[in-house]
Amino acid sequence: MKTTPFLKRLLTALLAGLTLASAQAQSFPAKPVTLMVPYPAGGLSDVIARTINTSLAKHLGQPVMVENLGGASGGIAAQKVLSAPADGYYIFQGSPNELILAPLSNAAIKYKSEDFRLVQMISINPMAMFGRKDLPANNGDELIDYARKAAAEGKPLTYASVGPGSMYHLLGEHMSKLTGLPMTHVPYKGGAPAQQDLMGGLVDIFISPFGKGQVALVDDGKIKVVGVLSAERQELLKKAPSLNDSKALKGFVFDTWSGYFVHKDTPEPIVQALHKALSEVANDPAIRGSLEAQAMVVPRPQALPALTKVYSDNTARYRGIAKAMNLQPQ
């Protein structure tokens, strides 16, 4: 078959692309990598990042810096990752909260979940409803009884979240609709400041993932736990009932997960390199033990196609919840 000039150019371009891809895979990373945490230091997301960054640095062969940037339910940090070159040097540590829900509720956020690619999951996090220390409620039914009395007095129950449109905001709205009671949303820039105001008695409740830090606050009497959002009791909060055990909040069962994302246009060889390193981190017994001690479930590493499906399925699920609640960008 005769080789035309066009075919020659095409073959040359393909070979050049393969050569470049191979070079990228071999040279990445050639400098420090930044792990972007979309909340201020001190929260559970920050704990996860600072638990894994040293191990990730070991497997990548370069330092891994943790950068905290709160605001807009994680949208500011996510946008910073998208605005950086799609070269794998900025990794976003996130969840459906920042990448799926935030764009649905915040008109200032212009990205959509499909702009990111999930490279690996690191944890599945159980959640609990925490209350100010003097909240007169120790289970789901007592909480709703209190919320009913507070509403009748013109002082609706207040609930904290990490920002408008966050998962915790949606759960508060869902609880309000489920019970038919007015509740007041109080948004913060992250879990740490929300928790601080909960300790100060400035807000009634805060639905959040939990770890040893939150358990210590409960044990010290600085906050209380109303109930866990898992179907059954949790070992780390063994005295806390499940909200699912109450009549008023039966079926109020939720958890969340965290993973590592890159810009969707990141070259495949770099994605593969990050996937390999993050998979090794997730298999590290020391890392698993440390995260599991914080009440997190560390899933076994998954292949990239499976991760793409997980992310796609979650996007469809949470968009469905937002639509059912008539969530509008503001």
Write the pLDDT tens digit of every residue in 220-279: 999 999 999 999 899 889 889 999 999 999 999 998 899 999 999 999 999 999 999 999
Residues 135 and 245 in one domain: yes
The CB-side HSE value for 285 (13 A sphere, CA atoms) comes to 0
**Burial code of 267-301, b = ≥16 C-beta within 10 A, e = fewer?**
bebbbbbbbebbbbbbebeebbebbeebbbebeeb
Burial of 58 (0-12, 13-18, 19+ CB in 10 A): middle
Residues 121 and 268 in one domain: yes
In a domain, 3, yes or no: no
Residues 103 and 158 in one domain: no
Q: What is the largest CA-CA distance in the chain?
A: 87
User: Which of the 8 DSSP states describes residue 123?
Assistant: E
Residues 73 and 167 in one domain: no
Report the pLDDT averaged over residues 13-20: 49
Reported as a pLDDT band with limits 50, 70 and 90, residue 289 is very high
Nearest to 210 by CA among 293, 285, 311, 137: 293
Predicted confidence (pLDDT) at residue 3 exceeds the cutoff of 60: no
C-alpha 219/C-alpha 229 separation (Å) is 19
In a domain, 221, yes or no: yes
Predicted confidence (pLDDT) at residue 135 exceeds the cutoff of 50: yes
Residues 140 and 241 in one domain: yes
Q: Are strands 223-228 and 64-68 parallel, antiparallel or unpaired?
A: unpaired
Residues 156 and 90 in one domain: no
This prediction has a pTM of 0.77
Task: Give the model's pLDDT for residue 250.
Answer: 96
Residue ending a domain, among 235, 255, 275, is 255
Which amino acid, one-letter code, is at 250? K
Task: Give the model's pLDDT for residue 318.
Answer: 85
Which tens digits make up the pLDDT trace of 55-106? 999 999 999 999 999 988 899 999 999 999 999 999 999 999 899 998 988 8
In a domain, 201, yes or no: yes
Residues 247 and 191 in one domain: yes
- Mean pLDDT over all residues of the chain? 91
In a domain, 7, yes or no: no
Tokens, residue 121:
């999951």
Residue ending a domain, among 221, 237, 255, is 255
Tokens, residue 119:
């490279």
In a domain, 16, yes or no: no
Which amino acid, one-letter code, is at 294? Q
CATH of the domain at 310: 3.40.190.150
CATH of the domain at 181: 3.40.190.10
Residues 197 and 185 in one domain: yes
Compute the CA torsion angle 188, 324, 326, 40 (nearest 10 deg): 10
Residues 236 and 187 in one domain: yes
Domain of 72 in residue numbering reads as 31-125+256-324
C-alpha 131/C-alpha 155 separation (Å) is 16
In a domain, 132, yes or no: yes
Residues 249 and 166 in one domain: yes
C-alpha 173/C-alpha 11 separation (Å) is 57
Which tens digits make up the pLDDT trace of 176-227? 999 999 999 999 988 899 999 999 999 999 999 998 889 999 999 999 999 9
Q: Are strands 33-37 and 90-94 parallel, antiparallel or unpaired?
A: parallel
Phi, psi of 134 (to 5 degrees): -105, 15
Q: Are strands 64-68 and 116-132 parallel, antiparallel or unpaired?
A: unpaired
C-alpha 168/C-alpha 39 separation (Å) is 14
In a domain, 70, yes or no: yes
In a domain, 143, yes or no: yes
Number of folded domains in the chain?
Answer: 2
Residue ending a domain, among 255, 277, 300, is 255
Task: Give the model's pLDDT for residue 12.
Answer: 57
Residues 64 and 171 in one domain: no
